[in-house]
Structure 1
Amino acid sequence: MKKLVTFGLAVLLSFTAVITKAQDKSILWEISGNGLSQPSYLLGTIHVMCKKDFEMKPKVLKALEKSESLVMEINYTDPGEMTALQKMLQADKKISEQLTSTEANELDEILKEYHTNLQNVDNYSSQALYALISTKAIPCPQTEVKMYELELLQKALKEKKSIKGLESVNDQLNSINKAYHLKDIIAQLKMGKEYEILMQKTINAFKNEDLKTLDMLLKDKRFMNEKQEEAMLSNRNKNWVEKMPEMMKKERSFFAVGSGHLWGDNGLISLLKSKGYTVKPISNL
C-alpha cells in the first residue's frame, strides 16, 4: 500500500494539456534555437499506468539515447529527496483530529470503497490520503503498475546519463497544500469511480498522443478548479522554465514531466517559446 500511495502522488500530479493543430499531435517535443548548440527534448508523460497500457514509443527511446541527461520533476536517485518523500506521507496531526465526529464518520464510510477505514489511515498526511484515489484510478493490482519515469530512469542509468530534478519533494508538498485542503481531498475521494473513468479515457488519449482530448478531460472542474490548476501546474511551470535554460546550455537534456505541464498559456511549450526557443512536435526521430 505504501508503494502504491507513493506512486499515487505522482498520478495526481500528471494532468492537463491541449494542442489545437493536428500537426502538433505529439507527446515529444524538440527544443532548439536561442543560442543552444544542440537540441534538447521535452516529453509529456502519464506518470503511472497499468502494464497492459504501458508503451514507450521508439522516438522517445531515441531522444533519450541522444541526450546526456534525464531531468524529471524530482530526482529519484537523490537519497535526501526519497527520505523527504517518505516523510511527506507522515502526518503531524491525525486526520480524525482535524474533523468533526460527523465528518470523521462520513470519511470512514467513504474509505470502505477503498478497502480501508479511518483508523488505518488516521496517521496519514493529507497528501497520502489524496494518493488513495490512485487505488480507484488505476484498475490493476500493484504488481501490474508501471511508472513511466521509473522506466526512463532505469534506461538512463544503464546508459550512464546524469539524473536531475526540476524541483524538490518539499516544492511538490507546498503545491499540493496550496491546491488541496483536507476537505477538498475528502470531496475528491467521493469521486473514486469517476477517477477510474477519467484515468482510462486519459490513458487512451495519451496512447493516441491526443493532447487536445487530454486537456478537455483533465481540466474538468470536478477534478481541478482554477486555484488548483494555478498551484499544481502554472506556478510550477514558471519555476521550472527558469531552470531549464541553464541545463540545456550545459548539455543535451531530456525533460520528462506530466503531460499536464506541456500546453496552455502557462504551459512549458508556450513559456519556452516566450523565452525565444523553437519548440516543435516530433512525429518520428
Structure 2
Amino acid sequence: MKLKLVIVTVLALLWSSLSSAEVFYKAVQGDKTLWIMGTVHAAKGDGFALSEHAQDALAQSDVIWMEVAPEKLKNAQAAFMAHAMRSEGTLEENVDRETWQAFTQVAQQYGIPEQNLNPLNAWFAQIVLVATAINQAGYVQEAGVESKIEQFAEANNLPIKGLETVERQIDALVQAQSDVGEQEIIEQTLTEIDKVNEVLDEIIASWQQGDLAVLGKYLNDSMPDQMAEELLYKRNREWIAKLATDNQSDIAFIAVGAGHLVGDEGVLTLLEQKGYDVNPVNP
C-alpha cells in the first residue's frame, strides 16, 4: 500500500477523533435532513474548533452517526491485536535479511524495539510504524474533529450511533491487503516512511481548504481497485443502507472520514442516487 494510503488508512481506521468543519455538506430529501462532515482524524497542537455552521447543525440534530460509536472503541486495541498477531512463525522469517535489518533500524529510530514487531503480521507492523511517525510529527487524535463532536454531544445529551463495528473496520483492512506479500509491504514502508510529515501536511491543508478533489487523489486516483473496494466503496454502500433502515430521525449529523465522501462511489454521490439534494455548506 502506498504510504499516502497507509497514512489515510491510519487516520481513518485507527484514530477516532475530529477536526473543524470545512468539508461539510447538507443533504435533504423531503422531511429528512442529513448534515455530513468529512473528517480528518488528527491534527497538530490544539487542532481545530468546530465552525459555527457545524455547531448549529449539531444543535438541530436528533442523533449523531460516526463510523464507530465511541463506547465501542474502548476495546479496539484488543480487537486489532487479535488479528495483528501471527498465528505461527515471525515476521523476520518472511522477509529477506537486508530488508528486515533496514526495517528494524528505522523502527528503532521511532522508539519501536525489534521484539515488538516480530510477532506481528506485516500489514500491522506497517501501521504501528506509520502511526508512531504520525504521532511524533505532532499530530494527535485529541486535536481532531471527532473528539470535538463527542464533547458537544456529551454536553448536549446527543446520542452517538455507529455505522459499523471495529471488527468490520479490521476486516476491511485485512481484505484490502490480502493479495500483497509481506516483503512488498515492508519494502514500501522503507521507501516512503521519511515522507510522513510532507504527506500529512498536504492532507491536512487540503482538508482545511475543503478541497475534496485533492483529498480524492490520495485515495481514488492511486488506490488499486480491490483496495478501494474494501477500504472505501463497500463500506460506503453499507453505511447508506444502514442509514436507510436504522436512522429514524428527521435531522441527523454524520461524521465520517473525508475520503469516504469523494468520487462516483462516495457517500455524497450515493445519497444523490437515493434522491437526496446534496450541497456544500459554505463556511
- Measured against the shorter chain, the TM-score band is 0.7 to 0.9
Q: Is the Cα contact below 8 Å between 1:137 and 1:198 reproduced in 2?
A: no
The equivalent of 1:171 in structure 2 is 168
1:48-197 maps to which residues of 2 (within 5 A)? 48-78=42-72, 81-90=73-82, 91-93=84-86, 94-124=90-120, 126-127=123-124, 129-138=126-135, 140-141=137-138, 146-180=143-177, 181=180, 182-190=182-190, 191-197=192-198
CA separation of 1:196/1:104 partners in 2, compared to 1, >3 Å: closer, same or farther?
same
CA separation of 1:88/1:184 partners in 2, compared to 1, >3 Å: closer, same or farther?
farther
The equivalent of 1:213 in structure 2 is 214
Q: Is the Cα contact below 8 Å between 1:32 and 1:277 reproduced in 2?
A: yes
1:17-56 maps to which residues of 2 (within 5 A)? 27-33=23-29, 35=30, 37-56=31-50
CA separation of 1:113/1:253 partners in 2, compared to 1, >3 Å: closer, same or farther?
same
The equivalent of 1:17 in structure 2 is none
Q: How far did residue 141 of structure 1 move?
A: 4.3
Q: Which structure's relative contact order is higher, taking Cα pairs within 8 Å and 6+ residues apart?
A: 1
CA–CA distance in structure 2, aligned partners of residues 220 and 194 of structure 1 = 19
Q: Is the Cα contact below 8 Å between 1:77 and 1:163 reproduced in 2?
A: no
Q: Is the Cα contact below 8 Å between 1:12 and 1:131 reproduced in 2?
A: no
Q: How far did residue 133 of structure 1 move?
A: 0.8
Q: Percent identity over the alignment?
A: 25
Q: How far did residue 250 of structure 1 move?
A: 3.2
The number of equivalent residue pairs is 262
CA separation of 1:183/1:244 partners in 2, compared to 1, >3 Å: closer, same or farther?
farther
The AA in structure 2 aligned to 1:164 is K
CA separation of 1:228/1:86 partners in 2, compared to 1, >3 Å: closer, same or farther?
same
The equivalent of 1:232 in structure 2 is 231
Q: 194-203 vs 54-63, which deviates more?
A: 54-63
CA–CA distance in structure 1, aligned partners of residues 133 and 112 of structure 2 = 12
Q: 158-167 vs 119-128, which deviates more?
A: 119-128
1:263-274 maps to which residues of 2 (within 5 A)? 263-274=262-273
Q: Does the residue aligned with 1:196 lie in a helix, a strand or coil?
A: helix
CA separation of 1:143/1:171 partners in 2, compared to 1, >3 Å: closer, same or farther?
closer
Q: How far did residue 186 of structure 1 move?
A: 1.9
Query: What CA deviation, in whole Å up to 9, does each residue of 1:201-229 have, x standing for no partner?
Result: 111111111222222344463xx333322
CA–CA distance in structure 2, aligned partners of residues 159 and 215 of structure 1 = 33
Q: TM-score, normalised by structure 2?
A: 0.80
The AA in structure 2 aligned to 1:134 is A
CA separation of 1:58/1:140 partners in 2, compared to 1, >3 Å: closer, same or farther?
farther
Q: Which runs of 5+ in 2 are unaligned?
A: 1-6, 15-21
RMSD (Å) for aligned C-alpha atoms:
2.9
CA–CA distance in structure 1, aligned partners of residues 81 and 38 of structure 2 = 26
